[in-house]
Structure 1
Amino acid sequence: MARNYGGKIRAVVFDWAGTIVDHGSRAPMGVFVEVFRRFGVEISVAEARAPMGLPKWQHIQAVGRQPAVGARWQAAHGRDFADGDVDQIYEVFTPLNAQVVPQFADIIPGALEIVAALRARGLKIGSTTGYNRPIMEVLAPIAARAGYAPDNLVCAGDLAEGRPGPLMMYRCFTDLGIWPPASVIKVDDTVPGIDEGLNAGTWTVGLSVSGNGFGLSADETAALPPAEFAERRTAAERELTRAGAHYVIDSVADLLPVLEAIEGRLARGEQP
């Protein structure tokens, strides 16, 4: 094993929603609110967003385990929220999310250009997602028609464990034929996605403005007053920095200078 890798970056592994598609990671939000409502419990968009990045089963579990949501569940059902409830909600969630995801399949500005620039440098393009495979069977072909087709796809549920563990990243290493982890950058807009990269030993880049922490479409973002934009951006940056991201940028459009900075650090003997 390369104990002190000093070469070039060989692959970038991107998340999907909030990173390459769906500016603001908006597709799942209304679905989470709706499925809990169908089970007699009202939740807010903020409560739905809190665990974003986890595999969707674990995401539903984490929403229900929030104290305020758990209290509402107890009031509605006369018992604590349990894993059997997660199973039932998940069965409703998947087809609903697959139904709405085409409405939120917009490619984030600059993403296609960055991927093309990375490929021109000889890099492989990997991908992991908190979406399960039935949802990605809807989203991936839409993205491909728009020009985005990564070299692999690892979905929540493909392996024994998803985020924040490293197994999906390990699958990327195998699929892409890339090692060591220090030659890989993981790009994600959520804390579990950053954890996924850190736990796998890669460099990590968080996305503040295009992602879940900001939570708005590209048009909504552009229409914000400067003070509100700055406030939202700072909050999203703070969350990703606290998670341990090596770098935090607005969106994938800003990735190339970070790639060059990381390669400089590798040349100086630094590791993730």
Structure 2
Amino acid sequence: MQKLQAVIFDWAGTLVDFGSFAPTTIFVEAFRRGYDFDVSLAEARVPMGLGKWDHIQAVGRIPEVAERWLAQFGEPMTNKNIDDIYEVFMPLQIAKVAQHADPIPGAPQVLNQLRDKGLKIGSCTGYPRCVIDELLPAAKANGIAPDNVVATDDLASGGRPAPYMVLKNVIDLAVTDVNACVKVDDSVPGITEGLNASMWTVALLLSGNEAGLTQAEYEAADEETLAQARTKARLAFDGSGAHYQIDTIADLPAVLEDIDKRLAAGEKP
């Protein structure tokens, strides 16, 4: 007997945008346009999963970035600096996010399977509402249309790693038990979010932020290259507390079957 009620997904790197390039490349561009300051793509990836203002702040606090900022400007990064970069970031993200609406391979099929089983499909994102609303029509045209979407600024209580966005999904979807929910994400803050809500959590190793592969690189990679990418991602996720680690959303159905068996046996996340 099925025990699961809902699966709640992240967006970039989980459902769409293989490698989570829409936010990261635009963070790099926003720093450059806002203050003629360079951050690397790897540095921009470090705090992925946070709300975007918090993400900019977290990048600025990376020791190497903070040191370069101090050398260039003579003082530490301030909230005013973060506001300025955020104001540059937002229009760029709104303008370009729909260009990154290609689904992760297998994602439309998995969502259809979940619906066929009667599972509810939620989602939440580090994107603010004005950005995710630009992405939704393009994603829907590509077969990605969750039952519910919560953006990081929909709630006054804030975003990840706090559990409020996933709990808002629970309320909106009329789910009766958080233990019967699964959170699927490609970032550590997104996994922590699910754990803080007492949900099962599934970390994605190869489709998202931690591996940083493009879809073309993933599809062309030999097994040794993929193994190296998994190892890189596991270094981030091994301490996250994620219940499962899989390559991409295409591997999720087998995990959900296992969780259902564990729930039926009386286990809780």
TM-score class, shorter-chain normalisation, is over 0.9
Q: Paired residue for 1:155?
A: 151
Q: Paired residue for 1:21?
A: 16
Q: Paired residue for 1:131?
A: 127
Q: Which amino acid aligns with 1:74?
A: L
Tell whether the 8 Å contact from 1:189 to 1:213 is kept in structure 2 after alignment.
yes
For 1:134 and 1:77, how far apart are their aligned partners in 2?
Answer: 32
For residues 71-122 of structure 1, give each alpha carbon's deviation from its aligned partner in whole angstroms, at most 9, with x where no partner exists.
Answer: 1111222211112211111111011112221222111110010000000010
Tell whether the 8 Å contact from 1:15 to 1:193 is kept in structure 2 after alignment.
yes
For 2:178 and 2:2, how far apart are their aligned partners in 1?
Answer: 12
Q: Which amino acid aligns with 1:202?
A: M
Tell whether the 8 Å contact from 1:190 to 1:206 is kept in structure 2 after alignment.
yes
Tell whether the 8 Å contact from 1:194 to 1:205 is kept in structure 2 after alignment.
yes
Q: Which amino acid aligns with 1:139?
A: L
- Please tell me the root mean square deviation across aligned C-alpha atoms, in Å: 1.3
Equivalent of 1:260 in 236, 246, 257: 257
Q: Paired residue for 1:3?
A: none
Tell whether the 8 Å contact from 2:101 to 2:142 is kept in structure 1 after alignment.
no
Q: Paired residue for 2:87?
A: 91
For residues 217-259 of structure 1, give each alpha carbon's deviation from its aligned partner in whole angstroms, at most 9, with x where no partner exists.
Answer: 2211122243222111122133223201100111111111100
Q: Paired residue for 1:271?
A: 268
Aligned-residue sequence identity (percent) comes to: 52
Q: Paired residue for 2:4?
A: 9
Structure 2: runs of 5+ lacking an equivalent: none
Q: Which amino acid aligns with 1:26?
A: F
Please state whether the residue corresponding to 1:161 is helix, strand or coil. coil
Q: Paired residue for 1:112?
A: 108
Runs of 4+ in structure 1 deviating by more than 4 angstroms, as ranges, are none
Correspondence 1:1-272 to 2 at 5 A: 8-38=3-33, 39-159=35-155, 160-272=157-269
Please state whether the residue corresponding to 1:258 is helix, strand or coil. helix
For 1:119 and 1:172, how far apart are their aligned partners in 2?
Answer: 16
Q: Which amino acid aligns with 2:207?
A: S
* Comparing 70-79 and 137-146, the one that deviates more: 70-79
For 1:18 and 1:270, how far apart are their aligned partners in 2?
Answer: 29
Tell whether the 8 Å contact from 1:32 to 1:48 is kept in structure 2 after alignment.
yes
For 2:178 and 2:31, how far apart are their aligned partners in 1?
Answer: 39
TM superposition shift of 1:7: 6.0
Give the TM-score taking structure 2 as reference length.
0.96
Q: How many residues align?
A: 267
For 1:115 and 1:7, how far apart are their aligned partners in 2?
Answer: 17
